[in-house]
Amino acid sequence: MDLSGAIAGKLSLNQKKIGLFLLDHIMEVFLIALIIGLTFRAHGFMTWENWMNILRSNSLKGVIALGMTMVIIGYQIDLSIGSTVALAGVIVARLCRDLPPMGIDLNLAAVIGMALSFGVAIMMGWLHGTLAHKAGMPSFIATLASKFGLYGLAAILSGGYPIANQFPDWFNQIGGGRIGGANGIPIPAIVLIISFLIILFIMNNTTTGRAVYAVGGNKESARLSGIDVGKTTIIILIVVQIMAVISGFMTSGQVMAGSYSFGNGWELDVIAAVIIGGTSFNGGIGTVWGTLLGIVFMGVITNGMTLLNFDIYVQYIVRAVIMALAVLVSSYRAKVKA
């Protein structure tokens, strides 16, 4: 009787371990199942060209999602990233248009515009972090205000119209170029992978990464353990702004224009990829790997629905359901592990 009870207990323990393993890797399971299903149902899905298009189109928001992962793990949010995308492209386009007639080389004008865009990103990240930590203003409110302010600034600088065909060729290649010829790997996809490796290293191997998890999990406990909460908050909000600027360069380079309308509404797509990847809105929980899977998952399902001729409005509903399910799974996983 004791032997049978021990065997039953061992089986129960093994079943629980398997259940937890599957719960921790549910995104991988869903993604594999989705890819297999679309391979058989969607003509042209499992082709090199289609996958390169998936990577290229999702890298623009993907690099921001990697930065947003740090922000949400740190129990903050940034709703201004779409406007930052637009402003970065407009700044470079405006300077590339206005500086060469003054005798400044076009390449130098582009570099100056990029440097200025990064400067604005650092300033805005610092401002958001300072308001959140020192003034006690929720980052939701601070970044929402910046969203409209930066949008207006981009519209003023562009005169309300796209500034087209002003960039040097190398800048256009940032968004539209490929390594290895016409069928090669898109440069935005390479930028996404490099960004992933950098953010992954920061979160898993540095004191800054550990501080982000600690602050997001319990701000007061983090402070009592000697972590500079304000510095950590400012860092993560600067990082996501920098990633938005990089995305802005790629977006404008791909279209060969700067416009105040670029990046409009991207915030929700970026946050969706992060949440679907398993990061908790309550802070302290999440992985960069999970976000990368979320980016690929959203790209695959959008591409699949397009190939299957799903109505665009149906696609919105499907994405909403997926995000809701991701939140439910995340909450259930937290309760099981508690």
Domains of the chain, residue spans = 47-264
37-41, 107-111, 143-147, 181-185: range with lowest mean pLDDT: 181-185
193 pLDDT band (50/70/90 cuts)? very high
Can you tell me the mean pLDDT for 189-196? Answer: 96
30 pLDDT band (50/70/90 cuts)? confident
pLDDT of residue 59 exceeding 80, the answer is yes
Is the whole model's pTM more than 0.95, yes or no? no
Using alpha carbons, list the distances in angstroms from residue 169 to 112, 190, 223, 254. 16, 18, 48, 11
Using alpha carbons, list the distances in angstroms from residue 262 to 207, 232, 237. 35, 29, 21
pLDDT at 127: 97
Using CA atoms, how far apart are residues 229 and 47, in angstroms rounded to an integer?
47
pLDDT at 166: 92
96-105, 123-132, 307-316, 324-333: range with lowest mean pLDDT: 324-333
Using CA atoms, how far apart are residues 35 and 195, in angstroms rounded to an integer?
24
- Are the C-beta atoms of residues 277 and 25 closer than 8 Å to each other? no
pLDDT at 338: 57
DSSP string, 43-99: TT-SSHHHHHHHHHHHHHHHHHHHHHHHHHHTT---S-HHHHHHHHHHHHHHHHHHS
- Are the C-beta atoms of residues 94 and 163 closer than 8 Å to each other? yes
In degrees to the nearest 10, what's the CA dihedral of 64, 65, 66, 70? 100
Can you tell me the mean pLDDT for 269-277? Answer: 90
Using CA atoms, how far apart are residues 85 and 200, in angstroms rounded to an integer?
23
- Are the C-beta atoms of residues 237 and 71 closer than 8 Å to each other? yes
Can you tell me the mean pLDDT for 191-211? Answer: 96
pLDDT of residue 324 exceeding 70, the answer is yes
Can you tell me the mean pLDDT for 128-140? Answer: 93
Which residue has tokens 């860092």? 235
Please tell me which residue, 292 or 25, carries the higher pLDDT value: 292
pLDDT at 192: 96
Mean pLDDT of the chain: 90
Q: For 217-259, what is each residue's pLDDT tens digit?
A: 999 999 999 999 999 999 999 999 999 999 999 999 999 999 9
Percent of the chain with pLDDT strictly greater than 70: 91
- Residue 285 corresponds to which tokens in the numbers above? 């929980």
